[in-house]
Structure 1
Amino acid sequence: MSAAAVIDQLRRSFGPDALLTGEGDLDARSHDTWPVATVWAKLGRHPHRPDAVVRAGSVADVVEVLRIAGETGTPVTAWGLGSSVTGQPLPVAGGIVLDLAGLVSEPELDELDRTVTVAAGVRGSDLESWLGERDLTLNHSPQSLGRSTVGGWIATRATGQFSSRYGGIEDLVVGYQVVLADGTVADLGQRPRAAMGPDLKEFFLGSEGTLGVVTRVTLKVFARPELRITEAFTLPTVEAGLAVMREVVQAGLRPHLVRFYDIDEAAHAVPDRPATAPVLFLGHEGLAGVATAEHAAATAIVTAHGGASMGAAPVDAWMARRYDFSSVENLLAEPGGYAETVEVANLWSRIGPMYAELKEQLAPLADEVLGHFSHVYDQGSSLYMILLGRAADDETALRRLEEIWARAMKVVVAHEGEISHHHGGGLARQPWVRESLGTGYPVLSRVKQALDPDHILNPGKLGFGTRS
């Protein structure tokens, strides 16, 4: 069916405030905050543009959009606040962008079970502020807290800066509601654990809107910690820092904050001091006695590896600016300016060599190549490679960004690492999805075929093609 005919059907179901077809509205939904998309916008390019935008204000609206899409064979791409940095919400096959930012509700707090339930379009910082007024917190703090929705956290399998203690969204979500491609509404979750088959809520975590549309979320909440201790340390080498992180977590300690910067990024992490060594940020929180004991035990491990305290001031300064994107945004706004963050992960046995090769391979592609490790687990850690550069013009900058992704993914796959830790696949990683998932990919493909056989939902992501 033609786009015009689909729009006519949408117009009969939605009023002018909910159905958007203006050039500016369509252009705005053809770019997220992926640096490649940002450069496209600077160049006046809109390669992934919808035919219409529908602002959903209820679950019934979502069901109606999917009904029309199914009957007409029209692609639907869910959109939250457009803060993805990998092109996840870009409608590569056109069709309908389903804007969920208006799907909001007053939080429903269960103080006894320590949960809060909200509609999927609620902004993360709004929910955190509401809880803060009640001396509670989500303990979920992605850098995009003020630019992302709770439904987006589910769809992208997000994690936050304190995940080493509290876990990613997969650990913090209790349950959620999802609308399938055929309009079926399903509530998924456990109370608090179940052995009745697989945990169905895992199917949609990180599915990037390719399997269903999340409409309501129930999350854990926590009391504010009695005590928070933070401290920064220098360490003699990257190897020493990795050993500290591994020994801390494998000893059973659970710091809420673990961030280890190589010497290049240490200059940015502690800008008021000369960068002479890698730097570790470490923090523990909770009951005063427990946090104090854990921090003392972790500090002993740091000291044993040649660490020297810098005090709490560097961490306090970082905490005050940790949601600030301006340095990257300002660079991207310059003619020829570019910046990219490639976050990956690997086992302790592989992450050091993978980091070393990434630094070597990416060095020619930017003025600065920075690295830091965070989000630690018993078996390994995530790794961020941050690249900052200035090219002669925006066309050259775009080619540099494309080459950064090609080189980085090749290295990570060669080291048998995870090509994304929490930013997801989107368009940035689309060429490497199948290679990354290996023999697991046919399982994902069969789930997709069962839930969305016509490939209506967000085609062109997670290795799936567009509808033929």
Structure 2
Amino acid sequence: MTTTLATGALVDALGVDAVLTADSVRDAASHDTWPVATVWQKLGRHPYRPDMVVRVRSVKEIQSVVNIARESKTPLTARGLGSSVTGQPLPMRGGIVLDTSGLVGEPSLNEVDATVTVPAGVMGGDLETWLNERGYTLNHFPQSLYRSTLGGWVATRATGQFSSKYGGIENLLISYECVLADGTVAWLGQRPRAAMGPDLKQLLIGSEGTLGIVTGVTLKVFAQAEARSIDAFVLPDVQAGIDAMREIAQAELKPFLVRFYDADEARHAAPGAAADAPLLFLGSEGVGGVVEAEFAALTSIVERHGGSSIGAEPVRGWLGRRFDFSTVENLLATPGGYAETVEIANMWSRLPAMYDELKTALAPYADEVLGHFSHIYEQGSSLYMILLGHASNDEEALDRLETIWATAMEIVVAHDGEVSHHHGGGLARQAWVERSLGTGFPVLQKIKAALDPEGILNPGKLGM
């Protein structure tokens, strides 16, 4: 079956209004919010353009599209709201972009089990608002909360700003429904834990649509915290902050908020609050007496590493603007402007050296190179490198962005770090997938071959 015949079959199955082939629609589906793709758009380039965009509103419709794609050997790339910052939903080999943002419906709240079940096309911010009205919260706050879908969170292994306490989506997810490449539907999850074979729930988490399409999710919900304590601390240097975070994590304390900025980013995070010094934001929440005790322990650790409080106001300011993308978006909108966020991770023992080398090596490619640590674990932490710059034109800006990615990834691999903490691979990290996964890469290839032998689902991503 050719692409033309596939289009006809899709129109027959879903109706003419669901199958879109207009140039403007196809152009829009060839970009997400990855800065490189944004500059492509400014230059009028669409290197990864689908042949059509298909809008679906039910699991049955998704099954129909998958079956037609498989029979016609047409590439199929799922897309939610397009908030990826690494090119994950861009179709590397054309074909069909499956728009799942219409897969919405009323949430189902189970207050006894503390879960909520909802279609995968629902926007995260809409669900959070719905839960807040009933006294609950997801406690999952990616910066894209109001721009991303629940299915996208699962497909990209998303994490949120409060993950140091509540974990990433893999910890908050109870189960999910998915459509596989052969058109079958499966629910994968545990109740609440199981020893019957491997944890199949993990299979599609972070798979970027290469192994199946997530259509529904059941997530944990939490009662809104009764008490909260927050504060900001100046630290003498980056090493002191890293040491304090490591001690906090290894003491098994669970602050909901941990954000440690180097001196360069501290000026953005808390203008005027600290002069040329790193800054640590900390917060505890939960039951009143527990919060009080935990925050006292956190403060003691930070002070032992040379930290001193400057008050809670900088943290309150950040909490009020934490979903704001305007700094990056405004810079990208200017001629020659560029910005990039590269999030990586490493073990505590390797983290300082990796940070130092990234700061030095990336400095020639941007006006500002900012760094912060914001998701901590007993064994290590994530690290964000944020780059802001102006080039003479958009072509030069694109060249710098590509150089930034190549430079950063090579350094992370050399330090045996994780090339992505939570933004995923997408297009940005394609060249480093195999080196990152090492001997695990052939295992992933075998799983792909078993679940998607025709290779129709988001082909090219994750190196497959």
Match of 1:205?
205
SS of residue paired to 1:17: helix
Match of 2:143?
143
Paired letter, 1:62: I
Match of 2:457?
457
CA distance in 2, matches of 1:271, 1:131: 34
Residues 1:341 and 2:341 are matched in the alignment: yes
Match of 1:264?
264
Paired letter, 1:49: R
Residues 1:125 and 2:134 are matched in the alignment: no
Match of 1:182?
182
Deviation at 1:272, TM superposition (A): 3.4
Contact 1:19 1:54 in 2 (8 A): yes
Contact 2:264 2:276 in 1 (8 A): no
CA distance in 2, matches of 1:274, 1:169: 34
Deviation at 1:216, TM superposition (A): 0.3
Deviation at 1:93, TM superposition (A): 0.5
Q: TM-score, normalising length from structure 1?
A: 0.98
Deviation at 1:191, TM superposition (A): 0.4
1:274-423 to structure 2, matched below 5 A, reads 274-423=274-423
Deviation at 1:454, TM superposition (A): 1.2
CA distance in 1, matches of 2:193, 2:68: 37
Deviation at 1:329, TM superposition (A): 0.1
Deviation at 1:16, TM superposition (A): 2.6
Match of 1:63?
63
CA distance in 1, matches of 2:298, 2:16: 59
Match of 1:444?
444
Match of 1:429?
429
CA distance in 1, matches of 2:303, 2:236: 11
SS of residue paired to 1:232: strand
CA distance in 2, matches of 1:252, 1:173: 22
Paired letter, 2:173: V
* TM-align CA RMSD: 0.7
SS of residue paired to 1:41: helix
SS of residue paired to 2:463: coil
Contact 2:73 2:456 in 1 (8 A): yes
Contact 1:234 1:309 in 2 (8 A): yes
Q: Which runs of 5+ in 1 are unaligned?
A: none
Match of 1:232?
232
Deviation at 1:276, TM superposition (A): 2.0
Deviation at 1:234, TM superposition (A): 0.2
Q: Deviations over 1:366-411 (max 9, x none)?
A: 0000000011000000000000000000000000000000000000
Paired letter, 1:44: G
Contact 1:264 1:275 in 2 (8 A): no
CA distance in 2, matches of 1:19, 1:314: 49
Q: Deviations over 1:262-290 (max 9, x none)?
A: 00000000023353210000000000000
CA distance in 1, matches of 2:345, 2:166: 18
CA distance in 1, matches of 2:61, 2:91: 19
Match of 2:53?
53
Deviation at 1:226, TM superposition (A): 0.8
CA distance in 1, matches of 2:275, 2:432: 35
CA distance in 2, matches of 1:107, 1:250: 37
CA distance in 1, matches of 2:334, 2:276: 30
Match of 1:193?
193
CA distance in 2, matches of 1:229, 1:460: 46
Contact 2:273 2:314 in 1 (8 A): no
Paired letter, 2:175: G
SS of residue paired to 2:242: helix
Paired letter, 1:27: D
Contact 2:244 2:302 in 1 (8 A): yes
Residues 1:161 and 2:161 are matched in the alignment: yes
CA distance in 2, matches of 1:129, 1:269: 26
May I ask how many residue pairs the two structures share in their alignment?
464
Q: TM-score, normalising length from structure 2?
A: 0.99
Match of 2:4?
4
CA distance in 2, matches of 1:49, 1:14: 22
CA distance in 1, matches of 2:188, 2:4: 36
Contact 2:346 2:416 in 1 (8 A): yes
Q: Deviations over 1:179-216 (max 9, x none)?
A: 00010100011000000000001010000000000000
Match of 1:80?
80
Q: Deviations over 1:437-456 (max 9, x none)?
A: 00111111100000001110
Overall identity of the aligned pairs, in %: 68
Paired letter, 2:256: H
Contact 1:141 1:159 in 2 (8 A): yes
Contact 1:343 1:385 in 2 (8 A): yes
CA distance in 1, matches of 2:14, 2:41: 29
Contact 1:262 1:372 in 2 (8 A): yes
Paired letter, 1:36: V
CA distance in 2, matches of 1:374, 1:275: 21
